[in-house]
């Protein structure tokens, strides 16, 4: 079998924050790819503003480097399970994976998730134990953990013989020895292992074309761009080809542009052969999983499996008293256009119409997936409201099932009792416990996704910020009856519209936690804090102090209020209850009751009780 020995296709996979994007940066720097004058920004692959800020990868990216006359295509993948749809499709495009594992943290929930996807595709693995320079590094134990994970996930004998490279991507060093003092100031050991272990693509360029779309991009100039791999044959600019659609129909089109990858750029190319990873344009409605073939030899590849959404939220136009003040795009038409345009590139997202022309049900892979969409829209100038996230219940053979997540917690031993108790209240079941012997414990639970909505805030305060929690979708299991989790405390709801005053806040701050500071504009029905008890109470924090002409003995003492608790967008989405909305504008995130007037709220609550 003939192979293209000067080409390799490899994906970098890892748990979030284990350093894969930094590793790709180093591979780019140390290969024969970038010009001397081409300075590389830190984590250059994370090009999106939110990726830069949060230090996470959301969209899969591809780059290519040149090393010793070999062209190596590298796919940088997300570590978060919410973006698992991206990871799965990338596995189809490559012949091997580089699994990056933190030398202290070891295997984590997403390590398990991404490795499982790679082993299912029978890909050749290389393991890079990263951050070897950490004083707390424990490389030998971590390699054992990785081996156990391979065995647990059913790896075959060849996959179990994985080579290990030890590296510090941040310092640009690597070696084949676990001894940190033997690190070489280069990434050659990683490159050499890729060339030696990852199989070169089969060269069947003479056969009829098969190109499958795995990722989508969009450009205002050329429309949709399909990114994927040429599995067979050759494709040239100007070719008349057939696109096999997901519904079984075919459409003919002409290839107007082919793009290859080199460094951080896309370069126009005239032709691509079997094994190449390319982007192509010319077809407006091209989708992930569709196959491009010759017009006279239609032979589509199996359609790619895309993980179904597990969580949904209702997106609505903003109808609060402050609607339209802070946003650029506020109408239902603009909102709908924006949501539909997101479907151009995000295949794990679903958008459905509702009976109301001002509301849509948007389904995604998790809270992070949906909150990043909301954050992007907010930054683009959109104003909107969203409801509390809900899990999607599915029917399997007549049994109603809900998504369950695998939760891994690393925490100081002293908080173990509280964690186990709080998760068992949320119907979590402990499946593993490891005491690391240094005062830290690792706990693994299987818990309904429903019970985890809003849990992270409670978890952080319970462990005083020392606990680390990671969770990833595991499977659908029969629905557990009754309500699980959710917020235990009620809210403080404003009865007035106006500006919050120091005097008004002082009058109610002993009732709970305040979310707003003096001078903040408030409207009736807006949530201004969390009650320390279970019920909602109405408060007036716009109250002014009565002015009198009597001088006070302690007049010069300044009134001091507690610092208000500022909720982030994610915390706000987790906080809201069933009868509440989160109002999002480019400037503010506000929490509000769906029914703003107190009297009308009480009437509606009575009606619901009678039902």
Q: Give the model confidence (pLDDT) of 235-267 as tens digits.
A: 999 999 999 988 888 999 888 889 888 877 788
In a domain, 235, yes or no: yes
**Cα(498)–Cα(513) distance, rounded to whole angstroms?**
20
**Cα(581)–Cα(526) distance, rounded to whole angstroms?**
10
Residue 79 pLDDT:
56
Q: Does residue 466 sit in the same domain as residue 509?
A: no
**Cα(104)–Cα(100) distance, rounded to whole angstroms?**
12
Question: Does the annotation flag 131 for ligand binding?
Answer: yes
Instruction: Name the phi and psi angles at 231, rounded to 5.
Output: -85, -25
Distances (CA, A) of 52 to 45, 48, 369, 458: 9, 6, 16, 27
* Mean pLDDT within 287-293: 87
Please name the residues in contact with 231: beta carbons below 8 A apart, sequence gap of 6 or more: 210, 211, 212, 274, 301
Question: Do the Cβ atoms of 468 and 105 come closer than 8 Å?
Answer: no
Question: Does the annotation flag 497 for ligand binding?
Answer: no
Query: Can you give the CATH number for the domain in which 455 is found?
Result: 3.30.70.240
Q: Does residue 459 sit in the same domain as residue 501?
A: no
Angle made by CA atoms 460, 466, 467, in degrees to the nearest 5: 65
β-bridge pairing 498-499 and 521-522: antiparallel
Q: Does residue 437 sit in the same domain as residue 510?
A: no
Show the tokens assigned to 437.
Answer: 């012997």
Q: pLDDT digits over 431-455, tens only?
A: 989 887 778 888 999 999 888 887 8
Instruction: Name the phi and psi angles at 602, rounded to 5.
Output: -65, -40
Question: Does the annotation flag 124 for ligand binding?
Answer: no
Question: Do the Cβ atoms of 174 and 167 come closer than 8 Å?
Answer: yes
**Cα(117)–Cα(115) distance, rounded to whole angstroms?**
5
Domain that includes residue 469, residue range: 394-478
Q: Does residue 72 sit in the same domain as residue 186?
A: yes
Q: Does residue 116 sit in the same domain as residue 237?
A: no
Query: Can you give the CATH number for the domain in which 269 is found?
Result: 2.40.30.10
Q: Does residue 48 sit in the same domain as residue 153?
A: yes
Residue, of 37 and 520, whose pLDDT is higher: 520
> Residue 469: which pLDDT band, with cuts at 50, 70 and 90?
confident
In a domain, 354, yes or no: no
In a domain, 284, yes or no: yes
In a domain, 202, yes or no: no
Of 278, 215, 284, nearest in space to 59 by CA: 215
**Cα(77)–Cα(106) distance, rounded to whole angstroms?**
19
In a domain, 2, yes or no: no
Q: Tell me the three state secondary structure of residue 136.
A: coil
Quickly list H helices, 477-521: 502-508
Question: Does the annotation flag 410 for ligand binding?
Answer: no
Query: Can you give the CATH number for the domain in which 507 is found?
Result: 2.40.50.250
Question: Does the annotation flag 549 for ligand binding?
Answer: no
Please name the residues in contact with 286: beta carbons below 8 A apart, sequence gap of 6 or more: 213, 216, 224, 226, 243
Is the pLDDT at 552 greater than 60? The verdict is no
> Residue 101: which pLDDT band, with cuts at 50, 70 and 90?
very high
Residue 559 pLDDT:
64
Question: Does the annotation flag 520 for ligand binding?
Answer: no
Residue 33 pLDDT:
55
499's enclosing H/E stretch is strand 498-499
Q: Does residue 131 sit in the same domain as residue 232?
A: no
In a domain, 342, yes or no: no
CA 54 to chain centre: 11
Please name the residues in contact with 296: beta carbons below 8 A apart, sequence gap of 6 or more: none
Q: Does residue 269 sit in the same domain as residue 231?
A: yes
In a domain, 19, yes or no: yes
Query: Can you give the CATH number for the domain in which 38 is found?
Result: 3.40.50.300
Q: Which residue has the tokens 């991206």?
A: 86
Question: Does the annotation flag 305 for ligand binding?
Answer: no
Give me the DSSP letters along 349-393: -EEEE-SSTTEEEEEESSHHHHHHHHHHHHHTTB-EEE---EEPP
Q: Tell me the three state secondary structure of residue 186.
A: coil
Please name the residues in contact with 305: beta carbons below 8 A apart, sequence gap of 6 or more: 88
Residue 92 pLDDT:
85
Q: Does residue 191 sit in the same domain as residue 237?
A: no
Q: Tell me the three state secondary structure of residue 110.
A: helix
In a domain, 314, yes or no: no
Residue 182 half-sphere exposure, CB side, CA atoms within 13 Å? 8
Handedness of CA 237, 226, 21, 49 (dihedral sign): positive
Final residue before a domain boundary, out of 265, 294, 323 = 294
Question: Does the annotation flag 130 for ligand binding?
Answer: yes
Final residue before a domain boundary, out of 197, 231, 257 = 197
Question: Does the annotation flag 471 for ligand binding?
Answer: no
Question: Does the annotation flag 20 for ligand binding?
Answer: yes
Q: Does residue 191 sit in the same domain as residue 136?
A: yes
Q: Does residue 74 sit in the same domain as residue 214?
A: no
* Structural domains of the chain, count: 4
Q: pLDDT digits over 357-414, tens only?
A: 999 999 998 887 898 899 999 999 999 999 999 999 999 888 999 999 888 888 888 9
Q: Does residue 460 sit in the same domain as residue 499?
A: no
**Cα(315)–Cα(468) distance, rounded to whole angstroms?**
31
Final residue before a domain boundary, out of 141, 165, 197 = 197
């Amino acid at each position: 079998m003939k192979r293209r020995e000067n080409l390799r296709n490899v994906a970098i996979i890892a748990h979030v924050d284990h350093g894969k994007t930094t590793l790709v940066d180093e591979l780019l720097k140390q290969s024969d790819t970038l010009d001397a004058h081409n300075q590389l920004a830190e984590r250059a692959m994370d090009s999106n503003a939110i990726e830069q800020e949060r230090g996470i990868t959301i969209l899969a990216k591809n780059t290519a480097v040149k090393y010793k006359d070999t062209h190596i295509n590298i796919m940088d993948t997300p570590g978060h399970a919410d973006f698992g749809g991206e990871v799965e499709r990338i596995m189809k495009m490559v012949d091997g994976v580089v699994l990056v594992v933190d030398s202290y943290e070891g295997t984590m929930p997403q390590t398990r998730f991404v490795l499982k996807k790679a082993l299912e595709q029978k890909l050749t693995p290389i393991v890079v134990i990263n951050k070897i320079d950490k004083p707390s590094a424990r490389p030998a134990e971590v390699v054992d953990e990785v081996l156990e994970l391979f065995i647990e996930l059913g790896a075959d004998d060849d996959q179990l013989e994985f080579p290990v490279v030890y590296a510090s991507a941040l310092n640009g060093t690597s070696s084949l020895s676990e001894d940190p003092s033997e690190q070489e100031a280069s990434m050659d050991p990683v490159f050499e292992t890729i060339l030696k272990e990852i199989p070169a693509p089969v060269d069947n360029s003479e056969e009829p074309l098969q190109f499958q779309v795995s990722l989508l991009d969009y450009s205002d100039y050329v429309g949709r761009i399909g990114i994927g791999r040429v599995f067979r044959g050759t494709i040239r600019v100007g070719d008349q080809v057939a696109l096999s659609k997901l519904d079984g129909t075919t459409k003919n089109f002409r290839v107007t542009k082919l793009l290859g990858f080199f460094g951080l750029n896309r370069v126009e190319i005239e032709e691509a052969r079997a094994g190449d990873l390319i982007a192509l344009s010319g077809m407006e409605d091209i989708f992930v999983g569709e196959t491009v073939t010759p017009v006279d030899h239609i032979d589509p590849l199996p359609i790619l499996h895309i993980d179904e959404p597990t969580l949904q939220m209702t997106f609505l136009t903003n109808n609060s008293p402050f609607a339209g003040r802070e946003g650029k795009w506020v109408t239902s038409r603009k909102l709908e256009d924006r949501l539909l345009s997101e479907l151009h590139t995000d295949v794990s997202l679903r958008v459905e119409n509702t009976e109301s022309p001002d509301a849509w049900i948007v389904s995604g892979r998790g809270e992070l997936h949906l909150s990043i969409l909301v954050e992007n829209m907010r930054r683009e100038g959109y104003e909107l409201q969203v409801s509390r996230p809900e899990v999607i219940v599915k029917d399997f053979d007549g049994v109603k099932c809900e998504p369950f997540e695998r939760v891994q917690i690393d925490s100081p031993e002293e908080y173990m009792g509280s964690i186990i108790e709080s998760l068992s209240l949320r119907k979590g079941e402990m499946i593993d416990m490891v005491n690391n012997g240094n005062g830290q414990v690792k706990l693994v639970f299987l818990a309904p996704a429903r019970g985890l909505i809003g849990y992270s805030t409670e978890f952080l305060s319970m462990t005083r910020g020392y606990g680390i929690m990671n969770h990833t979708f595991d499977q659908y299991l029969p629905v557990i009856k009754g309500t699980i989790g959710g917020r235990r405390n009620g809210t403080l709801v404003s009865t007035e519209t106006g500006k919050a005053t120091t005097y008004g806040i002082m009058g109610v701050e002993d009732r709970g936690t305040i979310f707003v500071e003096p001078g903040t504009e408030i409207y009736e029905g807006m949530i201004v804090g969390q009650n320390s008890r279970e019920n909602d109470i109405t408060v007036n924090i716009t109250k002014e102090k009565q002015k009198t002409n009597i001088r006070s003995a302690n007049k010069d003492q300044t009134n001091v209020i507690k610092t208000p608790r500022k909720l982030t967008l994610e915390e706000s989405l987790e906080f809201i209850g069933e009868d509440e909305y989160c109002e999002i504008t480019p400037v503010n995130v506000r929490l509000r009751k769906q029914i703003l007037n107190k009297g009308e709220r009480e009437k509606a609550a009575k009606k619901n009780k009678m039902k």
